[in-house]
Each structure stands twice: as C-alpha cells, then as structure tokens.
C-alpha cells in the first residue's frame, strides 16, 4: 500500500540551517522508516527556541533529531505506544518584535490515543499562554504528523530561533499497524 506524505508551510523566521527529519532520519523518498514520534523536547520561553524529536523506527529502534542549537530543553512531551500527534496550533510574534520577524512563539500539541480515541492537548509551549500583546498570526495544522522539518538559527539575539514545518502521512490516518 502506498501512502501520501505531505509537508505544510513553514512557521517562524525562515533563517538558519535547514533540517528535514523524514529525509535525514526516515530515508524518504526511497523508503519511509519512521513509525511514529516517541518524544518531543522543546526549549521555550517567550519564544519556541528549539526542538529535539525522538522517532520510533519501523525496526523498533529509536533515532533522535537534535535541533536544539545552544539550548537545553525545558519542556518534554512523551508519547505512549498508541499515541499519535494529530494536530498542532501555534502563533508567531507581532511585527515590531525582534527585528520585525515572525518568530515562533506559541505551540499546542493535539495527541490522540489510537486505542481509546481519547485526545489530550499539551501546551501552551512558549509565550506564557499566548499573550495577545505579543502574538501575531495564528496557525493550525491537522495531521497525523509523522515528522518535523524547518530551520534553526543559532547565535545572536535571541540565541536560538526555530522555524517549523510539519510532515503528514495519510498512512497513519488508516492505522498505525498498516505497513
């Protein structure tokens, strides 16, 4: 069975070193070896500065994609074996904040238990509950999300800046056990 894999627009400042976990970790497009996300760790204060993702591979091993730059994570989100990331909502900063760039400043993760159908929401991550005084554009991404891509800018002020894009897979919508 073939599955469609798509990538969303990017949210953030669009600066820094690019990363694409589905290619670097999963081997896409030749193969797609990522089974699911096991853990996401963020460094977040007023901005969502950086991220580290642990992926469960089809062969049962795990691989870590480190996009933390100089940061140390302060938010950890663990996924059970039967949980999928099915959505992300977020905001970028308003014009005039940090050189008029749309920094990623707020995220919420929507996680579904595929056995019970229960939903849990993790967040807010970043910008102290999404204070409207500092936030600009809002975005929402519906999944299932299998991997992350984006850019990480390290150095300067702020020390790290994250741009995120989300890789979605129709295959996961069918069921986690479909290969």
Give 108-145 pLDDT, tens digit per residue: 999 999 999 999 999 999 875 556 666 678 899 998 99
Distance of CA 131 to the CA centre of its chain: 21
Using a cut of 0.85, tell me whether the model's pTM lies above it. Answer: yes
Largest CA distance in the chain: 48
Residue 103 maps to a domain: yes
Mean of pLDDT over the chain? 85
Give 47-95 pLDDT, tens digit per residue: 888 899 999 999 999 999 998 877 788 999 999 999 999 999 998 887 7
Find out whether 146 and 172 touch, Cβ atoms under 8 Å.
yes
pLDDT at 133: 66
Residue 59 maps to a domain: yes
| Segments forming the whole domain that contains residue 126 | 5-171
CATH number at residue 152: 2.100.10.30
Residue 178 maps to a domain: no
Residue 176 maps to a domain: no
Residue 30 maps to a domain: yes
């Amino acid at each position: 069975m073939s599955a469609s894999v798509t990538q969303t627009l990017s949210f953030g400042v669009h600066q820094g070193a690019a990363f694409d976990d589905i290619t670097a970790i999963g081997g896409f497009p030749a193969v797609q070896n990522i089974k699911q996300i096991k853990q996401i760790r963020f460094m977040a204060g007023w901005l969502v500065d950086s991220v580290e993702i642990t992926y469960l591979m089809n062969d049962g091993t795990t691989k870590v994609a480190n996009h933390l730059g100089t940061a140390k994570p302060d938010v950890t989100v663990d996924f059970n074996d039967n949980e999928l990331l099915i959505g992300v909502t977020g905001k970028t900063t308003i014009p005039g904040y940090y050189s008029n760039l749309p920094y990623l400043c707020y995220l919420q993760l929507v996680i579904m238990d595929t056995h019970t159908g229960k939903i849990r929401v993790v967040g807010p991550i970043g910008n102290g509950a999404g204070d409207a005084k500092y936030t600009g554009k809002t975005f929402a991404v519906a999944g299932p999300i299998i991997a992350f891509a984006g850019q990480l800018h390290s150095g300067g002020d702020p020390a790290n800046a994250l741009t995120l894009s989300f890789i979605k897979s129709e295959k996961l919508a069918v069921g986690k056990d479909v290969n």
